[in-house]
Structures are given as structure tokens and as C-alpha cells.
Structure 1
């Protein structure tokens, strides 16, 4: 049994884990392992937003970002997903990952100008970037063999880890939690740069991407997931999308991953920005919407046991203030972190 925290990031704890040292989790889970010389990763979300049928400007913008995502200094991994937000706008989001900040910096500025520097008729564009130290980041996978998200750029996966299957495991997997409460500091502020709107958030902002992959399931398991689990998951995702601000969730997106040809895959993920890790933990541990998600998932897994083919994963980051960048052009006022500013200034 390994610790989720790699040896080179382990330190003398001043804050204790939620479980004793001899804790044995009831089922296996795994985490991504980066090379020890990787001290920072980059996760960048490039979104295009529109109403109704896909306008030509959106198609052209997506083709532009596709070209840049395979150019010099491009990311080591990228994927794209689609969702409809609380205001009824369709959004397509390309997510890109780097394990070399210098390479990202060389790539980013011209890409930023091309994406949010030019207003396009009928669409909005946005950029949301975190560049966290790996000590502020954790991942978790229910199985090996198919990494997703930031884990694709890791060196590999761990063996079975101890810190999971209990409330508090998410925090215990983040190396910084050994010595730091990671409490939020300050409030989001809006900065206007001509037509562009930037949000300066605050210290210890939390991001989670939590995904499901049912592409390997056979007919009976797929039906069980889509009939009994996914509707409960969607209910919780819709709650966070529509009413999450009251509990510290600035924005939530329940996304369907798109294939290389633009088709809808049998993968989804929720992606949300939270005021703090503590706020995310409170929702996970006690809010009725997540209690129902957890209950449906446990019933599903207990019914199928080791034969379950559903793959689950997540990545969680608690970012320092200087590790964040949020910029929006021609987007509606509840887009992404603009919703956080609207709430603070209302």
C-alpha cells in the first residue's frame, strides 16, 4: 500500500490525516505520478459560447484553437467537451495540459490574443488557467490503464494508495495539506481591459474535474448506470450549476466529452470552481444532492462488484492567487468566474 503523496513531497505533518496509519481502504484506487523534476503543471480551459445552431464564427474559432494546440510548444494532452449552461448557452471547451511552464508561457500569449483579443460576431470566448505547484494538486482513479485529464501527462500511475474511500481523503492526498489548512483569502474582483473582462479570484481557489467513462460497459451495466446513477448525478450537477453559489460553488459545468470527430462520447465530467476545498468537502459529505449521488454509486458498485466496467476519476487543485488566470470576452455575466464577481458585487 502506497501513500498518495509521493516520497519527495512527504514532510513532517503538522496537520493530521483523517484516518490512522493502519487504515485499509475497502477497494483499490490509484493516483497519477509525475516525474520528481516536474514541480508545476498547467491546465488551461478555452471556451467558446453561443446560442442556438453553431454559428460560423464558433466553427472558425474552434479551428483556430485546434491549430494552435498542435503548434510549437503545444500541450502534451488536450480534450474537448460540450455543455449547455444555466443561461441556455451552448459551450464547447478545449482543455489543454502542460508539465512544462516555460513551454506554456511561450505558447500562451499569442494564443490568448487570438482567443480573447478579437471580438467575433455572435459568440463569446473565455480562458481559465491554473498553473499549480504539484504540491497543491491531487488525482484519483478507480482503475488503471486509461488516464484522463491531467493524468495523461504524468509519468505513470501509482500502486494501490491508502488515502481514499473516506471523507477527507481528497484533502489528505494533496501534499500541501500536511502543513497547510489551505483556507481561502479575499474575494474575487473584476478587472476591465477594454472589452475583455478578467477576474482576479483569491488565494486557495479550488478546482475539481470529476469524470465518468462508461464506454467499456456492456448492455446490462450501461443500462444500470444510465437509468439509476446518471440521473442522480445530473440532479446534483444541476443543483451546483443553478444554486451552488450559496454553498461556495462559483460555477459548475456538467460536460460531455467529444471525440476527435466532434461526436459525443460515452464519457462525461463535472468541472467546478469552489471558494475553498472546505466548501467542496462540506457539499460532498453532507449535502442531500451529493448524499444521493454517493448512495446511487455505492448501490451500483455493490451490485456489480469487481465486474464493474465503469471508470471513475477526478483531479482536484487548490491554487494560490498567483497561479490563476480568468479572462472573458463577450460572454454572458454568469459565465465561469464572472458569476463569482456578480455575487460579490451584488
Structure 2
């Protein structure tokens, strides 16, 4: 059985894992593997929001973003999802991934100017970017064969890994955790540039993207997921969206993945910004909303066993302030990391 941390990123530990070396997880899981030459990746969220009545300019804005993605040095992979936020605004978010920071840096200035540098009546726009080193994040997949998110640009997948199926496994899979607590340092601030608002967060902000894919399920399993699990998951996602700030969750989006024609698929994911990995861990381990999610998922998986076709994955990232970028144009004040700061009129 492999470690989730690849050999070239393993160092002498000053901080120990939460399980002993002879621990054996009760079911298989896998992680994405980048080739050793990859030193960092980029996760860039390009969002657009509007009130329930969609402005006429929305399709053109999304088409123009696709053209920017297709330009020189554009992302190796991108996907799109939609959700309704706490202010009842519709949001469409296109998430782009690179495995070369220099390529992204060459592409980004023009892309930023084209997105948050261009106003559109009735539309808010935002860009949220993390550029973690490969030491700063982890992935986990319940099955092989269909990578999602940053794993799409990885070289491949691991064999079965050790560090999962216990509280603390998420932290133990991040290479930096071998020697670093990854505690938050500093206080978020905001800078106004005309109508654009730049949020400068603190060191070691945490991002999680955690997804579900039920497209392979048969009718009975799909019914079980949609009736027994998804409502409990949605309740937890809406709690984080509406009340998460009190427990360290700056923003949460429970999104439905869209296909190439903009239609909803049988895939969803929650993505949220947290003050720290520790805050995310506390919610996952002990908060009633996640305890209910965990309980519903375990009942589902124990009922179906190896026959379950539901696919689960996540990616969790902890980054320094220098590797973050958050910018908002004409967005409502509850959008993303704007919730972490006070914006003067």
C-alpha cells in the first residue's frame, strides 16, 4: 500500500500522522500523481453572477471567457458549474487548471483585463486563484478511471493509499503537514481599484472542492442517493453558505456541474473557502451538519458495499498569501472572500 505523499515529496517528519504505520483502511481510495518535474499547480475560479432574471449579456460573457481559455497559454483543463448563492443570485463558475505557474503568469494579465477589467450591465464578475506548490494540497478519489478537478492534469493516479478513512487523513495527505502546522497567519484586507475590489487574505487560507458523481448509478442506487444522501448533503452545504462564517467558513458554494452545452449533469461539488485547515477539520469531525452527512454516506455505502457506483472525490489546498488572488467587480458584498472583510462604501 502506498503513501498518499509521493516518494520525492517525503521528508523526515517532525509532525506525526494520526494513525500508526500498520493502519489498514477499510476500503480503497486513490490520489492524483503529478510527474516529479511539476512544482506547482494553478486553480483559477472565474465567476459571473446576476439576479434571477438573466441579463442579455450573459451568454456573450461566457463565450468570451471560453475564447480566453482557448488562447495561448490557456488552461490544460477547465470545467463549469452553477449555483444559487445566499443572496439568491445565480452564479456560473468556470474553474481552470494549470500545472505550470510560469505559463499561467504569462496568460493571466490579459485574462484578468478581459474579465474583471470589463464591466457588463447587470453582471458581477470575480476571479479567485490559488497557486499552490505540490507540497500544499492533496486529492482523494473513491475509484479510478474518471479524474476530476486538478487530477485531470495529473500524470495519473496512485495505487491504494494508506492515509484515508480516519479523521485527520486530509491533513496527513498534504506533504507540507510532515513538518508544518499550516496555521493561519495575518488578517484579510481589501483594496479598491476603481470598481474592482481586491481581497488580500492571510497566509494558509484553505480551499476544498468536494464532489459527487452519480451518473453511473442504476435506478435503485440513484433513488437511494437522491432521497437519502443528497438532501442531508444539501442541508450541510446550505448551513455553510448561510451561517458558516461563525465557524471559520468564509464562503461555500454547492454547485451543479454543467456539460459543454450548459445543461446540468449528474455531478455536483461543494467548494468553500476556510480560515484554516483546522477550522475545516473541526466542522468535518464534530459539527452536527457534517456528522449527519457522514452518517448518511456511511449507511449508503455500507448498504451497497463494493456494488456502489457513486464516485466521490475532493481536493484540499492550503496556501500562502503570496500564492492567492481574489478580485471582484460589481458583485454583492456576500460574494466569496468579500465576506471576510469590511468594504467601505
- Determine if the TM-score, normalized by the shorter chain, exceeds 0.5: yes
1:142-291 maps to which residues of 2 (within 5 A)? Answer: 142-291=142-291
Deviation at 1:101, TM superposition (A): 1.0
CA contact (8 A) 1:58 1:123 kept: yes
Deviates more, 1:52-61 or 1:284-293: 52-61
Deviations 1:146-167 (A, max 9, x none): 0000000000000000000000
Who is 1:88 aligned against?
A: 88
Deviation at 1:54, TM superposition (A): 2.1
Q: How high is the TM-score relative to the length of structure 1?
A: 0.98
Deviation at 1:53, TM superposition (A): 2.7
Who is 1:340 aligned against?
A: 340
Deviation at 1:103, TM superposition (A): 1.0
SS of the aligned residue for 1:135 comes to: coil
Q: How high is the TM-score relative to the length of structure 2?
A: 0.99
Number of corresponding residues: 344
Q: Distance in 2 between matches of 1:66 and 1:166?
A: 40
SS of the aligned residue for 1:56 comes to: coil
Who is 1:136 aligned against?
A: 136
SS of the aligned residue for 2:237 comes to: helix
Q: Distance in 2 between matches of 1:323 and 1:2?
A: 29
CA RMSD of aligned residues (A): 0.9
- Residue 48 (str. 1) matches residue 48 (str. 2): yes
Deviation at 1:61, TM superposition (A): 1.0
Deviations 1:41-87 (A, max 9, x none): 00000000001232122211111101111111111100000000000
Q: Distance in 2 between matches of 1:188 and 1:320?
A: 12
Q: Distance in 1 between matches of 2:224 and 2:160?
A: 27
Q: Distance in 2 between matches of 1:201 and 1:119?
A: 24
The unaligned stretches of length 5 or more in structure 2 are: none
Q: Distance in 1 between matches of 2:28 and 2:323?
A: 32
Q: Distance in 2 between matches of 1:187 and 1:59?
A: 37
SS of the aligned residue for 2:135 comes to: helix
Q: Distance in 1 between matches of 2:149 and 2:54?
A: 26
Who is 1:299 aligned against?
A: 299
The unaligned stretches of length 5 or more in structure 1 are: none
Q: Distance in 2 between matches of 1:80 and 1:267?
A: 11
Who is 2:324 aligned against?
A: 324
1:7-156 maps to which residues of 2 (within 5 A)? Answer: 7-156=7-156
Q: Distance in 2 between matches of 1:186 and 1:71?
A: 36
Deviation at 1:102, TM superposition (A): 1.2
Q: Distance in 2 between matches of 1:306 and 1:53?
A: 44
Moved over 6 A (4+): none
Deviation at 1:178, TM superposition (A): 0.2
SS of the aligned residue for 1:65 comes to: helix
